[in-house]
Amino acid sequence: MSTQENLLFIGLPGSGKTTFLAALWHVLTDKGSPTSLRLANLSGDRAYLNQIAREWRECSQVPRTNLQTEQVVVLHLDGVGFGAFDLSIPDLAGEAFKLQLSDRRMSHSHDSFIQGASGVVLFLHPDVKKGTQLAMARRLEANLSGAPSAADTPNNQVANEWSPDLLPTQVQLVELLQLMLERASQKLRIAVVVSAWDLVDELGEPEEIIAKELPLLQQFLETNHDTFEYSVFGVSAQGGDVTVAEEKQMLLDLEDAVDRIKVRHQHCTHKDITKPLAWLLEGT
Amino acid sequence: MAEAADDEVQETEPADEESAEFVELFSGAALGSKETGAITTRSRTHLVVFAGAEGSGKTTLVTSIYERLSDGPFAGFKFAGSRSLLGFEEICHLNRLASGATQPDTQRTRLTPDTKYYHLSLRPAETPVERREVLLSAMSGELFRMARDSKEDTQRLTFLRRADTLVVLVDGQRLSTKASRTNAQADAADILESVLDTNMIGSNCRVEIAFSKLDCITEAGQAAIDFAERAQTKLEGRFRERVPGISFCCIAARPNTPLIPSDGGLAAAFSSWMTAASPRDDHQGARPTRLPATREFTKFGWRHELSRKLT
């Protein structure tokens, strides 16, 4: 009899949750590279995982999960130090998390996933929406020779009424974590995954990207050690921008599709996409 | 641990089905008095109240504290959470490019029956010990105008009794023009006088008079700077005996000129507001507990630099 572990993937739409899952399923079934976690056996309905993994192998954009196609994936795994266990991961739509922010309610099923989770993967795409301040922009303009001062600009018309849709990415992510922690029943581990890592890997370590681009989130992560532990990973699951023909071809030309994967953690780069999950499970 | 499920993939119920039931989440908006109970009953909470006439910059101060934290550790504190993130974001909207506006502005605090509070959970940046729960409240200018004019209205401001810090704003923009400067000073003085006369603040409440919009004062030139200094002297003379620990500061929460450092003195001021005051003793004529080392305008060092640049 296997034991059960429950992890939760959370993130905004397009943050890379399903692409990660697709690459993970390929790596687990391919068994061609060393990984911290391994697939113990195959059973049950694998149609969804096979479908998204097929898209991933063809370097196609993995379809986003929507509210109608949400799935709970159960993986039968083992690994050194872990023994055999079944890992349950709900593949929840990013749209559901957006609705939590605007409607201020979550479904009972989401709530029960949180209650049962021992670890969480927070996905964030490095292309963030910033809440750029007008006052700051004006100061920068004023430093430029010949730029008009704020007082010289007439007609301060407000084009957009405020709504939660305008929340900067860092605020959305902090709020998602707060909503989740409010409902969590135990101290959690949180693996923060900076997805599409290949886009920003030259700009520094994943922790540095968060500190620079999402300083409110960075502070929140650092100051809540009594509520959760966290570790930051940079993960490139696709390996490049598959919407650019040349990049897609370059990825398809690789001898082994696993070579597309990059996982950056604690100043080392790996191909083992199971690392964030293994880190979460180490704490259980 | 529970026994595992057999299937690799299980369908979940569509989240938008009418039959789906939901768990209500906290609103994230500015908090009413009742909602603050979720914070104040759990932890010692520091309440900072901003008082001042309409347009004196109370809400801008609240937004600026949040905006500075959004950019990184501020005034020796790191952000550790908030029950009113959406409330903060809403009042910041008119200072965001996403608003479509061309000039920074702040939504005026509306007169509502219930006081609104903005919550911050903070930890000291250097020694991450106990977290500090903070509530910021910007009272509508209309309410304070009513309080200034009526003892009965002042007595309705019962939330003031819970304040750990009361910041009374002197509107620097009005101080910078001759027609309005005397009233700007008088408005702030009258508000504080009303609060003291009705015993609405506790003996442990820190009282600070803040000259807001320092950029307007400095841009208006030497005459405005001199008037502000005289105003500080007058206010000090008027209130020192009743509030021995009264202090003064100058702030440009959102400076619109590169002549003033972008910090605008807010970090030092916020740090002071977060410090507990020594108990006041109005009846025994206690001596001042904290006298400014020097005049605030001079202390910032902007006056002389600015004077040079203006001439």
Q: What is the pLDDT of residue A156?
A: 63
User: Which amino acid, residue B185?
Assistant: Q
Residue B128 and residue A223: Cβ atoms within 8 Å? Answer: yes
In the 8-state DSSP scheme, what is residue A63? P
Q: How crowded is residue B112: how many other Cβ atoms within 10 Å of its Cβ?
A: 11
Q: What is the pLDDT of residue B168?
A: 95
DSSP assignment of chain B: -PPPPS-SEEEPPPTT-TT--EEE----S-B-TTTTHHHHTTS-EEEEEEE-STTSSHHHHHHHHHHHHHHS-BTTEEEEE-S-HHHHHHHHGGGBGGGT-SS---PPPP--SS--BEEEEEEESSS--S-EEEEEEE--HHHHHHHHH-HHHHHT-GGGGG-SEEEEEE-HHHHTSHHHHHHHHHHHHHHHHHHHHTT-S-TT-EEEEEE--HHHHHHH-HHHHHHHHHHHHHHHHHHTTTSTT-EEEE--SS--STTS-TTTTHHHHHHHHTSPPPPP-TTTTPPPS---SS-HHHHTTHHHHHHHHH-
Categorize the per-residue pLDDT at A38 as very low, low, confident or very high, splitting at 50, 70 and 90: very high
Average pLDDT over residues B174-185: 93
Q: What is the pLDDT of residue B11?
A: 52
Which of B15, B25, B78 is closest, CB to CB, to A223? B78
- Report the C-alpha gap between B256 and A151 in whole angstroms: 9
CA B117 to chain centre: 11
Read off the pLDDT of residues A153-182 as tens digits, 9 standing for 90 and up. 555 666 788 999 999 999 999 999 999 999
Output the average pLDDT for chain A: 89
The answer to whether B43 faces chain A, any CB pair under 8 Å, is no
Confidence check: pLDDT of A264 > 60: yes
Residues 6+ apart with CB under 8 A from A255: none
Q: By CA distance, what is A76's nearest residue in B?
A: B8
Residue B81 and residue A135: Cβ atoms within 8 Å? Answer: no
Output the average pLDDT for chain B: 81
Confidence check: pLDDT of A19 > 90: yes
Place of tokens 């206010």: B235
Confidence check: pLDDT of B307 > 50: no
Sign of the Cα torsion A238, A239, A244, A247 reads negative
Read off the pLDDT of residues B133-159 as tens digits, 9 standing for 90 and up. 999 998 777 777 787 788 888 777 888
Return the higher-pLDDT residue of B277 and A39: A39
The answer to whether A159 faces chain B, any CB pair under 8 Å, is yes
Residue B102 and residue A156: Cβ atoms within 8 Å? Answer: yes
Beta-bridge mates of residue B249: B210
Categorize the per-residue pLDDT at A61 as very low, low, confident or very high, splitting at 50, 70 and 90: confident
Categorize the per-residue pLDDT at B85 as very low, low, confident or very high, splitting at 50, 70 and 90: very high
Q: What is the pLDDT of residue B280?
A: 56
- Report the C-alpha gap between B170 and B189 in whole angstroms: 9
Confidence check: pLDDT of A189 > 80: yes
Which of A2, A167, A219 is closest, CB to CB, to B89? A167
Beta-bridge mates of residue A188: A228
Average pLDDT over residues B68-89: 96
Residue in B67, B105, B110 with CA at minimum distance from that of residue B89: B67
Q: Which helix (H) or strand (E) holds A91?
A: strand A83-91
Q: Which helix (H) or strand (E) holds A78?
A: strand A71-79
Residue B86 and residue A167: Cβ atoms within 8 Å? Answer: yes
Categorize the per-residue pLDDT at A1 as very low, low, confident or very high, splitting at 50, 70 and 90: low
User: What distance in Å separates residue B83's CA from the closest CA in chain A?
Assistant: 9
Confidence check: pLDDT of B262 > 50: yes
Confidence check: pLDDT of B18 > 50: no
Confidence check: pLDDT of B252 > 70: yes
In the 8-state DSSP scheme, what is residue A13? T
B164, B50 Cβ separation under 8 angstroms: no
The answer to whether A149 faces chain B, any CB pair under 8 Å, is yes
Residue in A116, A152, A155, A282 with CA at minimum distance from that of residue B256: A152
User: What distance in Å separates residue B77's CA from the closest CA in chain A?
Assistant: 10
Residue B89 and residue A162: Cβ atoms within 8 Å? Answer: yes
Which of A198-202, B35-39, B127-131 is least confident?
B127-131
Sign of the Cα torsion B3, B6, B10, B13 reads negative
Which of A9-13, A103-107, A146-150 is least confident?
A146-150
Please compute, for residue B188, the number of CA atoms within 13 A of its CA located in the half-sphere on the CB side. 34
Which of A62-71, B94-103, B293-302 is least confident?
B293-302
Average pLDDT over residues B75-103: 91
Interface of B with A in 62-121 (CB under 8 A): 67, 69-73, 78-82, 85-86, 89-90, 92-105
Most confident of A228-237, B11-20, B148-157: A228-237
Confidence check: pLDDT of B198 > 60: yes
User: Which amino acid, residue A85?
Assistant: F
A113, A96 Cβ separation under 8 angstroms: no
B165, B48 Cβ separation under 8 angstroms: yes
Which of A135, A166, A175 is closest, CB to CB, to B254? A135
Q: Which helix (H) or strand (E) holds A182?
A: helix A169-183
Categorize the per-residue pLDDT at A29 as very low, low, confident or very high, splitting at 50, 70 and 90: very high
Confidence check: pLDDT of A262 > 60: yes
Interface of A with B in 187-216 (CB under 8 A): 215-216
Return the higher-pLDDT residue of B209 and B284: B209
Q: Which two tokens stand for residue B13?
A: 């119920």
Residue in B160, B155, B150 with CA at minimum distance from that of residue B202: B160
User: What distance in Å separates residue B258's CA from the closest CA in chain A?
Assistant: 6
CA B228 to chain centre: 20
Interface of B with A in 201-230 (CB under 8 A): none
Categorize the per-residue pLDDT at B14 as very low, low, confident or very high, splitting at 50, 70 and 90: low
Q: By CA distance, what is A174's nearest residue in B?
A: B81
Which of B12, B24, B27 is closest, CB to CB, to A71? B12
Q: Which of B61, B96, B173 to mutate to test the interface with A (most CBs of A within 10 A)?
A: B96
Q: What is the pLDDT of residue B285?
A: 37
Residue A166 and residue B89: Cβ atoms within 8 Å? Answer: yes
Residue A86 and residue B4: Cβ atoms within 8 Å? Answer: yes
Confidence check: pLDDT of B10 > 60: no
Q: Which helix (H) or strand (E) holds A73?
A: strand A71-79
Average pLDDT over residues B45-55: 93
User: What distance in Å separates residue A201's CA from the closest CA in chain B?
Assistant: 22
Q: By CA distance, what is B93's nearest residue in A?
A: A162
The answer to whether A98 faces chain B, any CB pair under 8 Å, is no
- Report the C-alpha gap between A238 and A254 in whole angstroms: 12
| Single pTM value for the model | 0.88
The answer to whether B158 faces chain A, any CB pair under 8 Å, is no
Categorize the per-residue pLDDT at B86 as very low, low, confident or very high, splitting at 50, 70 and 90: very high
* Residues of A in Cβ contact (< 8 Å) with B69: 216, 219
Confidence check: pLDDT of B306 > 50: no
Which of B4-13, B41-50, B158-167, B192-201 is least confident?
B4-13
Q: Which two tokens stand for residue A26?
A: 């390929």
* Residues of A in Cβ contact (< 8 Å) with B38: none
Q: What is the pLDDT of residue B283?
A: 40
Q: Which of B3, B6, B8 to mutate to test the interface with A (most CBs of A within 10 A)?
A: B8
Q: Are β-strands B165-170 and B206-211 bridged in parallel, bridged antiparallel, or unpaired?
A: parallel
A273, A235 Cβ separation under 8 angstroms: yes
Residue A216 and residue B102: Cβ atoms within 8 Å? Answer: no
Which of B9, B98, B99 is closest, CB to CB, to A49? B9
Which of A9-18, A41-50, A201-210, B288-297 is least confident?
B288-297
Return the higher-pLDDT residue of A277 and B260: A277
Beta-bridge mates of residue A11: A123
Categorize the per-residue pLDDT at B20 as very low, low, confident or very high, splitting at 50, 70 and 90: low
Q: By CA distance, what is A1's nearest residue in B?
A: B3
